[in-house]
Amino acid sequence: MDFGGLLELPKITRTDRHLLMSILGHVDEEASCITIDHKRDVQFYDEDVHTVLGIPCGAAPVRDPGHHVSEEVLAQIRAMFGIGPGEHNILPIVEAVKMTYGCRMTAQEKNKFKVGLVICACTYLLAPTLKNDYFCTNYWGALATPDLINMHNWCRYTREELLVAAKRVKADLLGGRQKSNLSGCLPFIQVFYIDNLDAAENNIDHTVRPRIKAYNYALMKTIIQKDVKSRKGDYPVVYGRLLPRAETEVC
């Protein structure tokens, strides 16, 4: 399926919300870049999502311009997992993905696993919503033929959903709110950001793929602390102390 990067995800159970708010607040959704200050910005593309997460970056779009999915496909996938028309709770799909088999899986069981795995990946990692365990269906058109799932550009879908999330956070910040509900693929944008910083002795060789497997919580915390510009106790925390690594040194 070309989703093998998901097997490399480190077990990170905590994130730095201050940093994530700062990064998303500095994302230019039109240029798809992180603007650190008036002199520095770091663009990110579909290929960067692939490099960090190791998911398919195929030629076929995941969604059409209107995000339309045929009723036939919606009904087909819902029936596959026994989910009613108005239900959006992902737990029945999670149980199907976790199921173990005592013998070789049939073609139908394989298809069910493939579709379920992608729905779980999108719901929990690639494009999570603001509601827990709530799945969206706007990408289900790319699941209609399970054997062709890897032909679609899941990296672009992930990036586009992150840009939408960044736009929402910026609107909250401009509206005077110091906190905002976060959505989108936060592990990608956090790893991409710190992976492009010059952290001196904490720099990691850029031959490791996918990039996310090169980072654990302790290492990320160390680099994040180095990047803090504000004084201890200041709020909100200001980042951007570290300089970007030279272009010849990053992937």
* pLDDT in single tens digits along all 251 residues of the chain: 999 999 999 988 888 999 999 999 999 999 999 998 776 789 999 999 999 999 999 999 999 999 999 999 999 999 999 999 999 999 999 999 999 999 999 999 999 999 999 999 999 999 999 999 999 999 999 999 999 999 999 999 999 999 999 999 999 999 988 888 999 999 999 999 999 999 999 999 999 999 999 999 999 999 999 999 998 888 889 999 999 998 889 99
Contact at 8 Å (CB) between 90 and 133? Answer: yes
Evaluate whether 228 touches 19 at the Cβ level (below 8 Å): no
Cα–Cα distance between 174 and 177 in angstroms, integer? 7
DSSP H/E element including 116: helix 107-121
- pTM, full prediction: 0.96
Question: Is 149 within 8 Å of 118 (Cβ atoms)?
Answer: yes
Tell me the three state secondary structure of residue 88. coil
